[in-house]
């Protein structure tokens, strides 16, 4: 086990480049099952969630090898093994496998997925969507058994614009005869990236990024070389850290359109931004101003995955802020850790009232989920004194060597063994 030792309280300065997006790479890896050919994924981040997905791919008989930031996947032969809870329990995104396996093999068996404990994330929309494509599904002692021998294209109306369900159903329709239509589809940039990947393999996906997506099935897909989009949540995390600690930093390898909801709110808290076509320079010389209301929702609204990091930043604001979490009912768990640092946060149901304080103080902290853990790093960098953060394995699920990113901004963040 490891921990982070953070000596905070100094303004940040420097520049860094953002990794490729975890939430784009995971469905792209799952979609590799759609072709018998080898696929090369460039600039693939080295993350615990990526490792967990690759373990699942190997369990299914696929070849998967990551050398540096280059990942090669070949699913020439797919074994219809039951994907057991030892594999799915580590990764919510394991559910993506259903659509790609069914599209190619017409059968799939998977245990219920795991992931961060930030609230209920039912897979009902995935199941309902697959049933709309005439897949027969039984839940047998925790194993989802799918029979797609009679699968056919059709129209799917999602009750909620779920990112995961949209991606799963895009893959499910890729090799089906006819046209599959997803109504009320999610519009996140990661949806567009998956569509581009499928199309790079010879697929026909239209309308990604809009509320209606059309997938015209093809007989066969081929291999390709693909580079996933930059990680907008990582970019937002580093920008929030500068807003919390002060300083001036250039964040490169970003798509400004993807982080517009974040940059607009950073302007409101007083940050000065220089936005270029693939970078953002942020300068903050004073404590952030409060946000009257920060409310999460599906894209293009403010992302729930950035709520903890912005909340950590707002603990140092010059007034009170209100944060409303509309997507996950347990996403404020990290606030108890921030309170150890002197943060004043009152949580009731899905609403947090944050009263800004002039300074935070270093403390011994424990991360219990991915984005909440990132928020603790943001707060620790801004706090005076030393913080020790346990639970680094949660942060490693989505940030590639987060300590190196902060070191490039002049922060003192060290990863050490727990025994040290």
The answer to whether 295 and 305 are in contact (CB under 8 A) is no
Q: Of 32, 116, 146, 234, which residue is the catalytic one?
A: 116
**Which residue stretches of 139-298 are H helix?**
163-173, 189-200, 232-245, 260-268
CA angle in degrees (0–180, nearest 5) for 321-382-396: 100
Separation of first and last alpha carbons in the chain: 11
Q: In 83-154, where do the E strands start and end?
A: 107-111, 136-140, 143-147
Helix axes 232-245 and 307-314, enclosed angle (nearest 10):
0
CA–CA gap between residue 155 and residue 150 (Å, rounded)? 16
CA–CA gap between residue 228 and residue 190 (Å, rounded)? 9
CA–CA gap between residue 335 and residue 352 (Å, rounded)? 9
CA–CA gap between residue 373 and residue 370 (Å, rounded)? 5
Distance of alpha carbon 144 from its chain centroid, rounded?
A: 24
Is 116 a known active-site residue? yes
Catalytic residues: 116
């Amino acid at each position: 086990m490891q921990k982070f030792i953070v000596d905070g309280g100094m303004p940040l300065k420097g520049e860094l480049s953002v990794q490729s997006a975890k939430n784009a790479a995971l469905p792209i890896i799952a979609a590799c099952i759609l072709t018998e050919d080898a696929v090369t994924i460039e600039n693939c981040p080295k993350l615990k969630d990526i490792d967990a997905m690759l373990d699942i791919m190997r369990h299914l008989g696929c070849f998967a090898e990551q050398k540096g930031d280059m990942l090669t996947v070949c699913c020439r032969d797919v074994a219809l093994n039951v994907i057991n809870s030892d594999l799915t329990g580590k990764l919510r995104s394991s559910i993506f496998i259903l659509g790609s396996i069914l599209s190619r093999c017409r059968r799939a068996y998977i245990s219920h997925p795991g992931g961060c404990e930030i609230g209920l994330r039912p897979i009902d929309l995935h199941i309902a969507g697959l049933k709309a494509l005439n897949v027969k599904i039984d839940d047998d002692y925790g194993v989802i058994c799918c029979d797609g021998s009679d699968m056919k294209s059709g129209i799917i109306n999602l009750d909620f614009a779920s990112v995961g369900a949209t991606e799963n159903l895009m893959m499910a329709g890729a090799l089906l005869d006819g046209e599959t239509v997803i109504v009320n589809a999610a519009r996140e940039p990661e949806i567009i990236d998956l569509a581009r990947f499928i199309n790079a393999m010879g697929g026909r996906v239209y309308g990604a990024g809009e509320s209606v997506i059309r997938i015209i099935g093809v007989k066969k897909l081929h291999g390709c070389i693909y580079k996933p989009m930059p990680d907008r949540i990582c970019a937002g995390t580093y920008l929030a850290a500068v807003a919390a600690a002060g300083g001036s930093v250039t964040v490169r390898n970003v798509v400004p359109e993807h982080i517009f909801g974040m940059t607009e709110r950073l302007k409101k808290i007083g940050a000065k931004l220089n936005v270029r076509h693939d970078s953002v320079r942020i300068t903050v010389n004073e404590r952030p101003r409060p946000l009257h209301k920060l409310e999460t929702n599906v894209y293009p609204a403010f992302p729930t995955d950035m709520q903890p990091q912005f909340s950590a930043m707002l603990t140092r604001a010059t007034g009170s802020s209100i944060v409303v979490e509309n997507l996950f009912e347990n996403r404020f768990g990290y606030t108890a850790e921030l309170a150890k640092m002197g943060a004043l946060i009152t949580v009731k149901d899905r609403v947090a009232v944050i009263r800004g304080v002039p300074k935070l103080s270093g403390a011994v902290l424990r991360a219990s989920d991915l984005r909440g853990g990132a928020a603790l790093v943001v707060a620790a960098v801004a706090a005076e004194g030393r913080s020790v953060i346990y639970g680094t394995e949660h942060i490693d699920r989505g940030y590639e060597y987060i300590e190196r990113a902060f070191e490039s901004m002049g922060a003192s963040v060290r990863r050490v063994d727990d025994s040290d």
